[in-house]
Amino acid sequence: MEKSVMPKAFSSHHHWYSATLDSLKTAGLSNSDADSSVTSLLYTYENAIHGFSVVLSTEQLQALQKTPGFISAYPDHTVEIDTTHTTDFLSLNTVNGLSSAANYGKDVIIGVIDSGVWPESESFKDDGMGETPTRWKGMCETGVQFNSSMCNRKLIGARYFNKGVIAENPNANIFMNSARDTDGHGTHTSSTATGNYVEGVSFFGYANGIARGVAPRARIAVYKVTWEEGRFASDVLAGMDQAIADGVDVLSISMGFGRRTPLYEDPVAIASFAAMEKGILVSSSAGNRGPDLRTLHNGAPWQLTVGASSIDRQCAATLTLGNRLTIVGWSLFPADALLINVPLVYNESLMACNSPNLLSEFANDAIVVCDGGSNVSGVIYIVTGELYQEVNDFRFPGVIINPSDGAKVINYAKSTSQPKVTIKFQQTFLGAKPAPVVAAYSSRGPSRINRGILNPDLIAPGTKVLAAWVSNKVTSTIGRNLKLSSDYDMIYGTSMSCPHVSGVAALLKGAHPEWSPAAIRSAMMTTANPLDNTNSPILDNDVLIYLHLMEQFLTIVRSSQYNCSSASSDLNYPSFTAIFTEETSNITQEFKRIVTNVGSGVSTYRANITQPSGARVSVNPRKLVFQEKFEKLSFTVHIEDRKRRNGNIVSGSLVWVDSRAKHAVRSPIVVMDQNRCGCTPEWSPAAIRSAMIITANSLDNTNNPISTEAYLIPAGDINMGAGQIDPNKALDPGLIYDAGPQDYVDFLCSFNFTREQFLTITRSSSYNCSNASLNLNYVSFITYFSETSSISAKLRRTVTNVGSGAATYIAKIIAPNGTTVSVSPNKLVFREKFQKLSFTVSIKELKQRGGSVTSGSLAWVESTEHTLSGSLLLYRTCLWKSNGFYLITDYKISSFQP
């Protein structure tokens, strides 16, 4: 609703909204399936947005749209839910650094929008905390199993919001109608951000140490908005609205809405704008839909968007074979167990490990070697794919090892008639390298709804993070009957990386209370570290192999003797990409493949084809009959292009299914034409993957087959943003890129929003669009080029000197490939603290690369100690259509469907 239209007769927005709804009842507009109470207000929003939540019929909504002050209405929708060592890993336990400079976040208030809190957790004790800041306006709301005495000088506020859930399902019986957490997610994120010191914390013996949040002396206020019964935007918005009113300094929200949700329909984006206006930094998770590009949410430029990375800690079990070879694998089996000289069973007929009866018959009281597709425990699993190691809660009496170590186990088992193995659980190792690595699940940028901004902004620890949990919730089991709970749990996700950054933001706010949210974000981004603990570029874990059959693993191990010295566009690889252009002489392309039977012996496979739209795929022969193990057979795939798609990308698949329906080997088929694109067959795997269904295999960033032991590649800016957060450097960044509400408004004005959409976000008609510009004063630089756009671009920025005084900075440029980049002026001379100076970055494209993304950097280097970094990202876009893609051209963006 438009604030300025409210009649003076009303003392508040609530009264105005109530009267407006009453007018609908007076007019006889009521729901046919509900009584008049349906139109009562669910929430009135005063801070995050000017508006309200209500249940209305279509007829009532149409009438409401005609009332004075109405701007827009959107349906309620659901939200996606996205440490003993992590603070050490971030160097936050040093005597001299950000933590001590900020007095460990003393009296900074962090608001957490999540699933509530388990107030009895030791992480929320108020030992060492002073009196609650007098500026705090919040409260501790009573409810089921929660009373006001459960708050203290640490946990200073707790509220809950579920009217949206109840409106969606009026018959819902809210299980825990209070701020008490029954899920664990909110307790985990809250304690990660600002948990107090707790000694002797571990997860059943793993990761033992002193638990603490990033800002252990900060205050915490929780707002429960997600429920077992549902998660709705109206409740999220209500929680954020209240947090702003209560006076939090930092808002941490580990959830988000669809990556295609427009800014003016995204409650988190809208509420974050209001928070930014009041000097509140909003730290948000990027999402867990990686490794594909354009999968992140929370991409508004006034938010801080956080991706996830690994740390250098490995929770493990050690295998000691009978030949005294020791192997370290992954495990979280929750028992202090030591299995000594247990028989080791390796039998190819048991490799699938899918029959407990068969296993019991052949391998009773033994350790069995299984492949990654198995569904039983008590074994050694041999798998590949770092994603499995990242996200799998392997809490069974077994251990995961990689293919290289798997080969050693198998070779040993074959070499002796009575192989033995000893397994010791509850092992924790620090110093694993490389670390950090961008997590495979971490959503990648750029944002689908926000051009000109590099997201995610940075990365932080998100994999296997240990933090407080709901004490009565099962976290692990031993066997089928023994269920275990723990006060601390180890989980993963950008939900876990977000509160790390929220905590750092609180420390920076404590050290620099005068800094704006943009200044805090700038300090973190410009000092982020792009290197890992081997002093090499941070790796991106987006190139993965998912092997569900041990046979596939053995095939790859055998292929390691080969190399790529003989280039060929028809690599014997389990995927097919057919590229057609106007210059292509044939409308049919042929692919030859050779497969090896590594099953138990005689087997028959038949081809099952899913045809790409507008193309015809045939296979010859359609049946492969193997007479023996290790036999090789060839087949040919023909792909005929029957329809020009003007750049469209379509996909299908070829699946070889054996006669026993035990094995199904799937290969993706991608068909594209580039008549108008000017693209080349050398598109990166990431570009191709954005148009295909990710399956069992992928190409690496050189278009070569992935090896089993070296599948990590350097992470790009759209994967990790500025890099891994470096809290101590962020304390003293030298220069910052600052921005205020009007700067973001000028940026929004360039989106061609309607007046109603614009007012939904800004909530005020006092803003104007006289200076609309895509040149937001942001740390990063993104330039889009297309066939119809200019080959050069100029981007203007302003930096503020927050150093001790006079300083001189020199520009150091690493230009993206195929471009020239210049900066004017290339030297900034500051005379005093807080002085602002501007510069212009000119980017000229020298070579069209067709659909590629290239990156570089601009660093401002001071003669004494500071280096201020920013990313340069160049897009060369093709005018293709693809489901949900954006057409980027001439700096205008529009969404379309094929």
* Statement: residue 563 has pLDDT above 50: no
What is the average per-residue pLDDT within 691-709? 27
* Statement: residue 47 has pLDDT above 70: yes
369, 321, 375, 367: which is closest to 349 by C-alpha? 369
Residue pair 806/830 in contact by the 8 Å Cβ criterion: yes
Q: Which residues contact 440 (CB under 8 A, 6 or more apart)?
A: 290, 291, 386, 387, 390, 541, 542, 544
| Cis status, amide bond into 681, omega within 30 of 0 | no
Active site residue 764: no
* Statement: residue 726 has pLDDT above 60: yes
Query: Among residues 114, 235, 405, 746, which one is catalytic?
Result: 114
* Statement: residue 895 has pLDDT above 50: no
What is the average per-residue pLDDT within 811-818? 86
Query: Among residues 50, 53, 115, 185, which one is catalytic?
Result: 185
Q: Look up the CATH number of domain 314-430.
A: 3.50.30.30
Range 734-739+776-895: architecture per CATH: Sandwich (2.60)
Same fold, 561-706 and 734-739+776-895: yes
* Separation in Å, CA 540 to CA 89, 459, 796: 19, 11, 30
pLDDT 10s digits, 123-175: 999 998 999 999 999 999 999 999 999 999 999 999 999 999 999 888 888 99
Q: Look up the CATH number of domain 561-706.
A: 2.60.40.2310
For the chain, give the mean pLDDT: 78
- Give me the pLDDT at residue 475, please: 86
* Statement: residue 546 has pLDDT above 70: no
Range scoring the smallest mean pLDDT among 228-237, 325-334, 761-770: 761-770
Class of CATH domain 80-311+437-540: alpha beta
The pair of three-digit structure tokens given for residue 533, joined into one six-digit string: 């603990």
Range scoring the smallest mean pLDDT among 197-211, 656-670, 775-789: 656-670
- Give me the pLDDT at residue 854, please: 78
Residue 646: other Cβ atoms inside 10 A: 14
* Statement: residue 89 has pLDDT above 90: no
Query: What residue segments make up the domains of the chain, in order of their start?
Result: 3-64, 80-311+437-540, 314-430, 561-706, 734-739+776-895
pLDDT band at 897 (very low <50, low <70, confident <90, very high): very low
Query: Among residues 331, 476, 495, 651, which one is catalytic?
Result: 495
What is the average per-residue pLDDT within 827-854? 84
pLDDT band at 679 (very low <50, low <70, confident <90, very high): very low
805: DSSP letter:
S
What is the average per-residue pLDDT within 563-583? 54
- Give me the pLDDT at residue 539, please: 77
* Distinct helix (H) and strand (E) counts, the chain: 19, 48
- Give me the pLDDT at residue 396, please: 77
Greater confidence (709 vs 843) lies with: 843
* Statement: residue 194 has pLDDT above 90: yes
Dist CA 448 CA 297 (whole Å): 8
What is the average per-residue pLDDT within 637-658? 73
pLDDT band at 314 (very low <50, low <70, confident <90, very high): confident
What is the average per-residue pLDDT within 885-891? 23
* Statement: residue 406 has pLDDT above 90: no
Active site residue 700: no
Active site residue 15: no
pLDDT 10s digits, 583-592: 554 578 888 8
